[in-house]
Amino acid sequence: MTRRYWNINLEEMMEAGVHFGHGTRKWNPKMAPYISAKRKGIHITNLTRTARFLSEACDLVFDAASRGKQFLIVGTKNKAADSVEWAAIRARCHYVNKKWLGGMLTNWSTTETRLHKFRDLRMEQKTGRLNRLPKRDAAMLKRQLSRLQTYLGGIKYMTGVPDIVIIVDQHEEYTALRECITLGIPTICLTDTNCDPDLADISIPANDDAISSIRLILNKLVFAICEGALLPWKIIQLPHGELAAPTNDINTTVALALLTSVAYFYAGLTKKGLGYFGKYIQPTPILLPINILEDFTKPLSLSFRLFGNILADELVVVVLVSLVPLVVPIPVMLLGLFTSGIQALIFATLAAAYIGESMEGHH
């Protein structure tokens, strides 16, 4: 597993209170290697170890997300519920933040049956079928739907047991942890000083009571999941060097336009000499600089319109790469290259006509 840099800052963790543990009377001796000191009857977690294991956890979820694995975040206590829901929605993974129902994973067939029932009731509510039932039956089904939404709302799209489970509080979610151990599902746990670090595959020694601490740890994990999920879309990259996209260097576009303008005036001066500027003083000499500037900027205006069209083509390709499978944008990219070539040909033709106009002496 490749190690990456996840911008884990010790000062940031201290500000979030990640280092605060439980009282010295409530601790697990197995957490001794992760404790650095005692302050006012409270154990202080070694943040260097925290940063190390958090980095390992980020590497694990990054690799798993890049392979399309499914995640489940579990945190049912009040302090963690909102943070768990926010993190799961951001990372587009499943979550449980109200109550862990016993056997949710080990008895997956029953959970799956409940999920089917939940989806059916939601569909009936959306289509308005519940409102057409007798009031008593409708009220009973709505209460059932509300209860299912509370306990299963975070896993309503889960089609099987998850590949990795992230647990916020080991003590609070001990049942969930035991089910993961039974099924052999890898787990990542926030372990406070009163927890057993040997139960989880990766234990992150951290304060699991402070909202800021929970949010910081989840934020790092969610960022790694999002980065890993985007990895498959980075396979198609724009070419570099001479084949690079025109929008990679706007200087080329401006240089071509300026070269066309210089060639335009050079052709006129070669043909007629200084008398070439006689047409610019019509109908009055005051308009001389304005007329010259107008002719000088025509190719520049044309080049920027061409640049905008090519940029729009590239943006279309980027959106398609982001929203659809990788196979589909390939012919679109070829079509975009063909379109860019046609536009470049049009620009060259207009530039040649522009210079030819100057040589013929027409305005």
Express each pLDDT in 8-37 by its tens digit: 888 889 888 898 888 888 888 888 889 888
Return the pLDDT at 125.
86
Return the pLDDT at 233.
46
CA angle 352-356-358, nearest 5°?
Answer: 125
Return the pLDDT at 231.
62
**What size, in residues, is the chain?**
363
Does 221 have pLDDT greater than 90?
Answer: yes
User: To the nearest whole percent, how much of the chain has pLDDT over 90?
Assistant: 29
* The token pair that represents 289 in the structure block: 């600089």
d(CA 337, CA 93) in angstroms, rounded, equals: 37
d(CA 117, CA 199) in angstroms, rounded, equals: 34
Coarse DSSP helix, strand, coil percentages of the chain, rounded to the nearest 5 percent = 65, 10, 25
**How far out from the chain centre does Cα 124 lie?**
33
Return the pLDDT at 236.
40
Q: What totals of helices (H) and strands (E) does the chain contain, helices first? A: 10, 8
**Average pLDDT value for the chain:** 79
| CB neighbourhood size of 326 (10 A) | 12
Q: Which helix (H) or strand (E) holds 167?
A: strand 164-167
Torsion of CA 311, 314, 315, 321, to 10 degrees: -170
Does 349 have pLDDT greater than 80?
Answer: no
Q: In the structure, what pLDDT confidence band is assigned to residue 322 with cuts at 50, 70 and 90? A: low
Return the pLDDT at 313.
57
CA distances to 4, 84, 112, 154, 323 from 88, in Å = 22, 6, 20, 8, 20
b/e per residue 171-201 (b: at least 16 CB within 10 A): ebbebbbebbeeeebbbbbbbbbbbbbebbb
d(CA 154, CA 172) in angstroms, rounded, equals: 18
Q: In the structure, what pLDDT confidence band is assigned to residue 277 with cuts at 50, 70 and 90? A: low
Where is pLDDT greater, at 237 or 70? 70
What's at 256, amino acid-wise? L
Looking at residue 109, the DSSP 8-state letter turns out to be: H
Does 283 have pLDDT greater than 90?
Answer: no
Place of tokens 């039932």: 133
Does 160 have pLDDT greater than 70?
Answer: yes
Q: In the structure, what pLDDT confidence band is assigned to residue 54 with cuts at 50, 70 and 90? A: very high
Helix (H, G, I), strand (E, B) or coil at 194: coil
| CB neighbourhood size of 359 (10 A) | 14
Q: In the structure, what pLDDT confidence band is assigned to residue 244 with cuts at 50, 70 and 90? A: very low
Phi-psi group of 126: left, alpha or beta (phi > 0 → left; psi -120 to 50 → alpha; rest → beta): alpha
